[in-house]
A and B are shown apart, each in its own frame.
Chain A
Amino acid sequence: MTGLLVLALYVAAFFGSFVIAKQIFKSAFEKKGFNKLKTVTFGDESAITANRVASVVSVVTVFWLWVAFTNSTIPLPKFPGPFSGDMTFTYTAQLEDGTQDDATVTMRVYREDIQQTVDEEGNPGREPSPAEVELGDGFAKNDSLTVARYGFKVVNVWKNDEVSKKDGSTIVAINGQPIKPGEKISVDEGTLGLTDKGTPTFAPATGFRMARLYLPAPEVVFQRFIWLNKEGYQGFTLIEHTRYSLQRVLLGFLLGALVGVPIGYAMGLTGWARGWFDPIVEFMRPIPPLALIPLIIIWFGIGEVGKVVLLFLAALWIMIIAARSGVSGVAISKVHAAYSLGASKWQILSKVIVPNSLPDIFTGARVAMGVCWGTVVAAELVAANVGLGKMIVTASKFQLTDIIIVGIIVIGVIGFAIEVGMRALENWLIPWKGKV
């Protein structure tokens, strides 16, 4: 239900902001430079540049949706939230002889995440006690209970009544409205009802916002981020978790490249090596590294060695194939030119084949780094003492959704940084790529 609302709003934001932005940021919608002179641009992909206004609005929209559908304190328009505070309802109990009596139930609805909050002195929040109420007269006595937001309470109203359910006291009306077992009554504060056995229930209104367990508010995640850097989780700070994950990736990738590139060259240069490694590469390449985890754990345990071996294997096949295709991509005229300029086999390899294959190797390295980064997190999810994956999976066992989200964001940012870094390195090392 809420999901559909989010989707509808998101689609509306896409089109709505287009219409609005077109009025406000006219210049961002104009064709620039040479494209101004093109009379037709629809279908001309080269004339399309990313509209930066759209990018900004896109990010802002996601952030706003995040705020709007959580119990955030950020002052942005939000959707109706869950009810919290005190509410009362009355029930009418009737005895077998027909005598009736009314009594009031006071429900105190408190934050479901109260234990995860801290007050000014740094003490964690505690569940509140029920409101103090008079018992009142008649055989039905007033009750007072607590219930968490997004929760549900079966209210045993007979607990303090003079006549128990067993002795024939039944609930016939709530808030003065006649009600039968299984029926429900909506009130502003939530939903009242009777169970099939006739016991009153109360579910506080949830509104459209997510409980912290499902989606913590942005500022909660941010605070968790700070806390993770300071206090750490599972004995390691966020930086340390990240460092361990990155270290494994770099080590595994470097070993994979160090072994894979020479094998790839050998496969491109000699028939024996190609014949020897072809079956292995073709067999191992389609196996997702994750499928190797169980075997790796049996062989190497859950320590660093196993992780590095797994990432080594993840990078190895990619780097072999990249180096091999780098060799086959060398134009034969370059090789012939070098031979007739007097190059030896060794010089052909070092002066022609290696530099010529660098673009392919770099493309492979980019892919391999991406795969390794994905694999290390997955491997840590399965078994590890430290690492971003380990942090996430432990947090999920304790339903600490904010830690999970911090972890996911860090994983995404680092994955993105790796990609950007590799591209910058590529542009610097291989300026001729794509230009010949």
Chain B
Amino acid sequence: MSHLSEKGIQVSELLIDNISMRFDLPDGGHVQALKNVTLDIKSGELMSVLGPSGCGKTTLLNIVAGFLAPTEGQIKLNNEVVTGPSPQRGMVFQQGALFEWMNVRDNVSFGPDMKGVSRAESKEKVEHLLEVVGLQDFKEKAIYELSGGMQQRVALARCLANDPDVILMDEPLGALDALTREKMQSLVLDLWKDTGKTIILITHSVEEALLLGERLLVMAPRPGRVHKEYRLPFADLGVGNDLREVKKHKDYAGTREEILEMIWNMEEEIMGRTEESA
């Protein structure tokens, strides 16, 4: 449902409506990657998604992005059914999705270029975004000259240059070292607050999910489904602040332990099942 915000701008609402996804395997079997997933994501919400690997997180994201059609259900953005990829829904991948034959600036202006926006028109926006992600001095650099953290900054800027309604991130910080990762988490929070974008962020790290997710979704495997949902205060607290301070919040440690325990049990169960069948 699209609705008007207080300021009167049209904003987006993402509706994941009873999605199921079944992969048929070549050997005649099948995998139920997702079963009856329903989510209503409000405009400007930052939702982090956690779950043991194989629980369908990437599949869900690919369906929202429009790369896969679900076997059941539908995705609606602003009341329109999603049928394919569109610049409305930007993607940030883990790594290696930048175009290494282009320099930093050309990567960032890729979206506007594709739409036929002239360089003169997009210049200001591109320069601004490069500044926001702290790469104003690296415009002319080749992608392979940048560190992993800088490459992900380019990926963020490239996605924002298209001004998407929703940003989908599949473990965007997964390949970074712990320190770089912390800095990037702050950047993601700041960008979220500044731009007011709706963000779905998949992560492997419970801490990251807690710190960044205004809403936190824990998924369970076989079949992939929503296991539990949290509403958390940490993302709002973290905007513009030291994330290490946020971790001292009284509820932080408890929630973390609870979620760890939950995922731990799921993994145990998976192990047990595979041992039984073996």
Q: What is A's interface to B at a CB cutoff of 8 Å?
A: 331, 333-334, 336-344, 347, 351-352, 355-356, 358, 430-432, 435-436
Contacts and interface: CB of A to CB of B under 8 A. Distances in A.
A184 to B, nearest CB: 74
Given A336-B67, A340-B89, A341-B90, A436 B100 contact: yes
B150 interface: no
Interface of B: 65-67, 84-87, 89-91, 93-94, 96-101, 110-111, 114-115, 142-144, 158-159, 162, 164
Contacts of B143: 432, 436
Contacts of B84: 339
Given A341-B162, A432-B144, A331 B96 contact: yes
A401 B241 CA distance: 83
Given A341-B114, A342-B114, A336 B100 contact: no
A209 to B, nearest CB: 56
Interface of chain B, main secondary structure? loop
Contact of A340 (B90, B94, B96): B90
A336 B65 contact: yes
Of A334, A342, A351, A436, most buried by chain B (CB within 10 Å of CB) is A342
A429 to B, nearest CB: 10
Contacts of A342: 86-87, 111, 114-115, 162
A241 B115 CA distance: 53
B85 to A, nearest CB: 4
Given A341-B162, A343-B114, A435 B100 contact: yes
B60 to A, nearest CB: 15
Given A331-B96, A432-B101, A340 B86 contact: yes
A347 B113 CA distance: 10
B99 A341 contact: no
B142 A341 contact: no
Of A339, A352, A431, A435, most buried by chain B (CB within 10 Å of CB) is A339
B139 to A, nearest CB: 17
A170 B110 CA distance: 102
A432 B87 CA distance: 27
Nearest to B94: A333
Given A334-B99, A432-B100, A435-B100, A339 B85 contact: yes
A436 B144 CA distance: 6
Given A340-B89, A342-B114, A342-B162, A356 B97 contact: no
Contacts of A338: 99, 110, 114
B142 to A, nearest CB: 6
A341 B158 contact: yes
Nearest to B111: A341
Q: 8 tightest A-B contacts by CB?
A: A342-B87, A435-B144, A355-B101, A339-B85, A333-B97, A341-B111, A432-B100, A337-B97
A69 to B, nearest CB: 51
Contacts of A336: 65, 67, 85, 91, 93, 97
Contacts of A358: 101
A197 B98 CA distance: 89
Contacts of B142: 431-432
Contacts of A431: 142, 144
B69 to A, nearest CB: 14
Contacts of A331: 96-97
Contacts of A337: 91, 93, 97-98, 158
A340 B91 contact: yes
18 contacts: A334-B97, A336-B67, A337-B97, A337-B98, A338-B99, A338-B110, A338-B114, A339-B84, A339-B85, A340-B91, A341-B158, A342-B114, A343-B110, A351-B114, A431-B144, A432-B100, A432-B143, A436-B143
Contacts of A355: 99, 101
A334 B85 CA distance: 13
A369 to B, nearest CB: 23
Contacts of A334: 96-99
A436 B114 contact: no
A432 B145 CA distance: 9
A430 B162 CA distance: 28
A352 B96 CA distance: 13
A316 to B, nearest CB: 26
Contacts of B86: 340, 342
Of B100, B101, B144, B159, most buried by chain A (CB within 10 Å of CB) is B101
A436 B96 contact: yes
Given A341-B111, A436-B96, A356 B91 contact: no
Nearest to B92: A337
